[in-house]
Amino acid sequence: MINSLFIINSSGDVFMEKHWKSVIHKSICDYFFEEQGKAGSPEDVPPVIATPHHYLLNIYRNQLYFVAVVTTEVPPLFVIEFLHRIFDTFEDYFTECSETTLKEHFVIVYELLDEMLDNGFPLAVESNILKELIRPPNFLRTITDTVTGKNTGVSATLPTGQLSNVPWRRTGVKYTNNEAYFDVIEEIDAIIDKQGNTVIAEVQGYIDCLIKLSGMPDLTLSFINPRLLDDISFHPCVRYKRWESEKVLSFVPPDGNFRLISYHIGANNMVAVPLYIRHNIQYREGSGGRFEVTIGPKQTMGKVVENISLEVPFPKSVLNLTLTPSQGKYTFDPVGKILTWDVGRMDPTKLPSIKGNISLQSGHPIPESNPTINMNFSISQMAISGIKVNRLDMYGEKYKPFKGVKYMTRAGKFQFRT
Amino acid sequence: MTSNSFQLGGTGFGNDKAPSTGSGEGDFTNDPASSGFFSENFKRHEDLKAMLDGNKDNLKLDAMKRIIGMVAKGKDASDLFPAVVKNVVSKNLEVKKLVYVYLTRYAEEQQDLALLSISTFQRALKDPNQLIRASALRVLSSIRVLMISPIMMLAIKEAVMDMSPYVRKTAAHAIPKLYSLDPESKEQLVEVIEKLLGDKTTLVAGSAIQAFEEVCPERIDLIHKNYRKLCNLLVDVEEWGQVVIVGMMTRYARTQFVSPNQEGAGEDGKNFYESEEDEDEKEETEENEDEPKKKPYIMDSDHRLLLRQTKPLLNSRNAAVVMSVAQLYHHCAPKSEVGVVAKALIRLLRGHKEVQYIVLSNIATMTVARRDMFEAYLKSFYIRSSDPTHIKLLKLEILTSLATETNISVILRELQTYVTSTDKEFAAATIQAIGRCASNIAEITDTCLSGLVHLMSNRDESVVAESVVVIKKLLQMQTTEHKDIITHMAKMVDEITVPMARASILWLIGEYSERVPKIAPDVLRKMAKSFIDEEDIVKLQILNLAAKMCITNSKQTRLLCQYVFNLAKYDQNYDIRDRSRFLRQLILPAEKGPLAKHAKKILLASKPAPVLQSKFEDRDQYQLGTLSHILNNKTTGYKDLPEWPEEAPDPSVRNVEIPVPEVTTKKSERKKATKDKSFYSESESSSEDEDSDEESDDSDEDEESEEESEEESDDEDESEDEEESEDSDIPQKNNAPPKQSAPKKAPKVEKSESEEEESSSEEESSSEESEEEKPPPKSKASKKKPAKETKAANQNNTDLLLDIDLFGSSNGVTSSGGTQGSILTPSMASAMSNLTISGASSTSSSNFVQPMNIPLKSYDLLNRMTGNGLGITYKFTRTISVFSPKMVSIELTLTNHGESPLSGIKVGKKTLQPGMEIQDFPEIASLGTGASTSVLMAINFNDTTQPAKFEICTLEQTFKVSITAPVGELLQPHTMGLQDFTQQQGKLKGMTENTGKVTLPKEKSDAKSVVTNVLTVANMLQVPSSESDTVYRFAAKTMSEGVLVLVSVSVNEESANIVVNCEKMVIGTMLLKDLKSLLAKS
């Protein structure tokens, strides 16, 4: 399936390559660079590129391109999904997946790639198994290794998980403090039109877990209002039939961090929009224009909205902005023409606002349309959809774990058209 | 040598300083010292060789790490091969591993030397550690040296028989490697694959199928025997394997089953009960998931199995799995069921942009064929300014395809905002999209045209140009005159500079010059003036314009035309010269030829309007989800999806040693056993506990579940014993008369209903077990079966007594449940429902959940006029359906008003919304003139007020009918205390609450009539309250999903406040509306 993988940094260097079948010279990437040259921005590079004998499938994340080369028909999503999985694994191992970290840990990277794919087909992808096969870098271990002169990053035995029916969980887990934390995170995607009407608002939710439980715990998580969740994707550990019949999540969790479910609450349900903005953006011939934005609370359910920030991409003809915000700081990137206003917390009694002048490049026609405003915010201790965890039960182990649930709502792709 | 050792020390030092890297590899660390000396690559290799030749493991490891660094970077490290290959015997595992990595990379280039390492691998293949065995095989098979292919073959053959599934999986991966190296070994490999396909572990399944796909995809016959096993294992296979298996299954289904979308196949001539039973049994064994049970065409049970087993995969976190299931449904499922994939695909749109791109491309193709599928998700395709351009274009494509008369206004408004986008490519595409909408939907063409004309005064040139081109196309399609638009465009020729747009305007004027007789010559004059400065494409159109003008208006333009032709004669472009020569001869011929007479006909012939259609129109020739589909081009190795066969190949090839009927026997036994247990055993609760335990373990049988499974097998033994004794009691009756199957049917359903949840899942695990573990000898079982069934029927009937009791009492029926058999046919059940009515009125204070008020109102289903004498009315009985608690019972009264008796009345084809189900009434053999009969049917409306459309067939005719349930009938009463009620109501505040106020007519403001009215509207139960009498509360749950519906009516003299709380807002609002209208009516 996947023949070769090239990792390319933002300046166009192929700094790592791995082949699972016959070697394909990295000059194949020239086709990719050609497409990259045509694209306006890194995101615009088409994910699938056909060359005379090969097909290049690429993903772009964290300023790195992962380019996979295939030679025959293959489901493209298979490859793309797998590339993302590789990226996630690197991130899991090195906390950040960037050119520096990959170069720093290139041996582990190479061992991982060798273990994840065999003949271009996925072999061991579950993080729990990989971590048993190849130990992640760890500060303490490197010290002991240096002192003792031993250096064993790889395991001599096959992880038992690989053979069991719960391949996602490693065996022999032991903790002195048994803990299970659940983060219910919801992101609101919305488009709000000029008049302030909601064109579309959807919620994308995740339940991310941090499970540190000894042995083989069997957990059951139930919700007060499970009916809200009708469009879910599960981690493979979740027993689908139990969900179908009883609407409870029953699972033997992997060890450590993982995403239990992600769900989508579509536009057909009403989704509350926590904030509104009032805006007045005008360009005038010659002088420039006015820019004025005020943010106000709409449906915040009594919670404090934090970490508000605005991002406004301006057209190329805008030269600069001189603004005065009532709170927070603003920056304008004169190259990318992006205005960022870091608002911070919102005090409902004093609405944050920003106003000032736009200066336009002389000689250019004034822009016809106003920019869209992207907004970010977060509200803690609340899930906007109203989903609530009812209880968590554990079977199969005797100890009493410490359990915790946290709710958070934040903006996903939250746009105001102006 | 001394210098070497010095440098070695240097390396070690470098390591100490940058411990996190664990190596001193120059290019990968910031350590200036190490990078300094590593830059002189050539000499350093000597140093590496020395390190590898030494006997210190950590030095070797350092060296290997540096070498791997070079490999990773793509630098040539092949000259180190001899030094590295020696270390293949290293005891240090990490060194070994890195040597393996190196070997697989360079073995192909250094074949002779690579052979040195082979014996090491051969030894490792016999290692007791499975990981070492597997990795040896992995590396051995990755060494692409043709000479060792016999050794590889041997190793693979051995590994396939290995104890460890991990090694077997590795063997499966090795097969395609060997095949690509040595295609002649195919025959032997196919044998190996056949063996692997029989493997029962989920770990191996995916890789085995992958090997099958790469080596011998044409040997579909190898799959037959493993088909059912694969389907059943599918959920537990790892994600990547699932993708491959589903892909293969798609092809399999297309060759082995017949199309589920053909018309009327197998609809009649099939015994109603028989087919029903088959379906049911499968339903029960596999899972208790609701799916439309019956199809007008009888689907192969294996086909159904595939669809059912893949459906849960739509909830996978892996986009590739979801996509593969979606394409399976698209290509292999009946049309009515494909809809289920839409939701999952929409969910994927939240993924990474690359995933979005692929999914959107596939959706775009799907919308061309099935627009209705995605219509509900229109808003999900709205474009954000932050989307990458290719995603914007795809979304635009989909939006355009989804446009219909009803939603076009919304879409147009959305498109309008896109036009102003700063992304010019996107803005231009938007204009094209508007054009496509306008051409597809006649109603809006004029609106779009005026909008586009407006856009022509846009400041941006590309927008203007694009609108001109689109307007040209639209005008060409329009028959009506648009003089003003043409005039307007003619005026714009001066301003527009984009060649394509200019050319379009000129063409338009030429074509319709008679509509603008005053302006056209003027335009030509101007163009003649600027001719030499124009682009080629514009010049050609000027020539065209001149020629056409010369024909229609030769008096004014003949000279101009000649002038233009003369200019063109000396143009640099040969096309233009050719064109002018041709036109001159045609229009201004030196001598009158035969062609010149027809010049007008030739030039001004009416041209066919261009068809604006989706770019994805022709993509459906490729299988969805493939690379070829994305590229719209056949890729290497792509095979077209085969067409459905006309007739299905023999389905029996899929039968494994244990044939299906036997499994059924086993099942019914098992079912009875559980039943018996709960019936006879000491305590019901304990058995229930057990059940739930078993259930929690049903998907994975790890060590913990051993206890349970033991217990289970005990149960099974028990049941077998019992069954044996029964066998001896009852003489064999091999051919049970067909009639007998009818009464059998109902109890089964009945039972499954009463213990639906426990039994079905339990049965499943047991049946799987029995299939796999304890295949009883066939002959015995088949003999057993018929006897068993009659017995089972009796047995069930006695069991049923209990059920009836439960059922009856819950319906307020006292002891009038009738004889044992009476409940067995649906029509009798309807009789019972009538009993219920009387029962209810007498015991209305009872605490049981029961219908409080049965509306007598009946609705017309089929008018006697349109029904050619057959009149059908229906009413809602408000009883719990015998078929499924999720269904609404409906009593149909059929009356033959005609003059001839009707026969064979039954339900025909159904067109249902996804999630809806119909339980048909049994076929009415005949209905004499003037006779009338009542039958009971049940519909699961899936909590929507959508009509259930189906056909009523008589022998001669079919009538299309539809039943819509008022929202109040979608409910079932729910018992609730006051406290509970207020608590629940508190939870359902906010958006889920609907309030309304009505003025009550005088005569109806008393408590009793308010209550009756509410209960007439909706099938609810009054909540007993202790407070003042003026607030009445009612509670119910929706039939299919069991969502709570709460109504409270507070009467205040002459007005009443109604509050409806329901999570489903549609139900809430509609119920409120119904309540208001009835309460206000005097």
Q: Which of B316, B317, B383, B757 to mutate to test the interface with A (most CBs of A within 10 A)?
A: B317
Q: Do B23 and A107 touch (CB under 8 A)?
A: yes
Q: Identify the top-confidence range among A75-89, A111-125, A170-184, B28-42.
A: A75-89
DSSP letters along A4-73, please? Answer: EEEEE-TTS-EEEEEESSS---GGGHHHHHHHHHHSSSGGGS-SEEE-SS-EEEEEEETTEEEEEEE-S-
Kindly report the pTM of this predicted structure.
Answer: 0.68
When pLDDT is averaged across residues B633-658 and rounded to a whole number, the result is 80
User: Which of chain A's residues have a Cβ under 8 Å away from the Cβ of B15?
Assistant: 146
**In this predicted model, what pLDDT tens digit does every residue of B680-739 receive, in sequence order?**
434 434 444 444 444 444 444 444 444 444 444 444 444 444 444 444 444 444 444 444
User: Could you tell me if B285 and B764 are in contact, meaning their C-beta atoms sit under 8 angstroms apart?
Assistant: yes
* Residue range A275-380, CATH number: 2.60.40.1170
**In this predicted model, what pLDDT tens digit does every residue of B88-130 receive, in sequence order?**
888 777 888 888 888 888 888 888 888 888 888 888 888 888 8
A179-271+382-416 topology per CATH: Immunoglobulin-like (2.60.40)
Structural tokens at position B293: 């049970």
User: Cα dihedral sign for A313, A317, A319, A320?
Assistant: negative
Higher pLDDT, B1005 or B743: B1005
User: Which of chain B's residues have a Cβ under 8 Å away from the Cβ of A125?
Assistant: 238-240
In this complex, is the C-beta atom of B35 within 8 Å of any C-beta atom belonging to chain A? no
- Evaluate if residue A110 carries a pLDDT over 70: yes
In sequence order, the β-bridge partners of residue A6 are A17, A67
Check residue A78 and give its pLDDT. Answer: 93
When pLDDT is averaged across residues A312-341 and rounded to a whole number, the result is 89
User: Which of chain A's residues have a Cβ under 8 Å away from the Cβ of B180?
Assistant: 21
How many angstroms separate the CA atoms of B596 and B583, rounded? 10
The strands making up B958-963's β-sheet, listed across from edge to edge, are: B924-927, B902-911, B948-953, B958-963
In sequence order, the β-bridge partners of residue A208 are A183, A259
Structural tokens at position B640: 């077209």
Smallest CA–CA distance, residue B877 to chain A, in Å, is: 27
Token look-up 């022709």 returns B618
Q: Do A241 and B699 touch (CB under 8 A)?
A: yes
Rg (CA), chain A: 25
User: Which of chain B's residues have a Cβ under 8 Å away from the Cβ of A165?
Assistant: 202, 236, 700-702
Smallest CA–CA distance, residue A100 to chain B, in Å, is: 8
When pLDDT is averaged across residues A58-81 and rounded to a whole number, the result is 92
Check residue A59 and give its pLDDT. Answer: 93
Check residue B813 and give its pLDDT. Answer: 37
Over the range A340-369, which residues count as b (16 or more CB within 10 Å of their CB) and which as e?
Answer: ebbbeebeeeeebbbeeebebeeeeebbbb
Of the pLDDT bands very low, low, confident and very high (cuts 50, 70, 90), residue A48 is very high
Chain A residue nearest residue B59, CA to CA: A149
Residue type, B1068: G
How much is the mean pLDDT over chain B?
Answer: 73
Q: Do B19 and A143 touch (CB under 8 A)?
A: yes
- Domain residue extents for chain A: 2-133, 179-271+382-416, 275-380
Name the nearest CA neighbour of B151 among B89, B159, B108, B135: B159
In this complex, is the C-beta atom of B700 within 8 Å of any C-beta atom belonging to chain A? yes
Q: Do B93 and A46 touch (CB under 8 A)?
A: no
Residues contacting residue B31 through CB under 8 Å, at least 6 positions apart: B14, B17, B18, B24
B residues 380..399 contacting A (CB < 8 A)? 380, 382, 384-386, 388-390
* H or E segment to which residue B1010 belongs: helix B1007-1017
How many angstroms separate the CA atoms of A74 and A119, rounded? 14
Check residue B1082 and give its pLDDT. Answer: 58
Residues contacting residue B300 through CB under 8 Å, at least 6 positions apart: B256, B257, B258, B648, B651
Query: In Å, how far from its chain's centre is CA B807?
Result: 38
Token look-up 């519909």 returns B939
User: What ipTM goes with this model?
Assistant: 0.93
Q: Do A125 and B240 touch (CB under 8 A)?
A: yes
Q: Do A158 and B166 touch (CB under 8 A)?
A: yes
A2-133 topology per CATH: Beta-Lactamase (3.30.450)
Smallest CA–CA distance, residue B1008 to chain A, in Å, is: 35
The strands making up A373-380's β-sheet, listed across from edge to edge, are: A232-234, A256-265, A198-212, A179-192, A402-416, A373-380, A305-313, A338-344, A329-333
A2-133 against A275-380: fold identical? no
Which whole-number Å values give the CA distances from B892 to B896, B906, B921, B928, B1045, in the listed order?
Answer: 13, 12, 9, 17, 27
How many angstroms separate the CA atoms of A279 and A294, rounded? 6
| Long-range CB contacts (within 8 A, 24+) of B814-819 | B814/B839
- Among B19, B318, B357, the residue with its CB nearest the CB of A142 is B19
- Among A104, A110, A369, the residue with its CB nearest the CB of B420 is A369
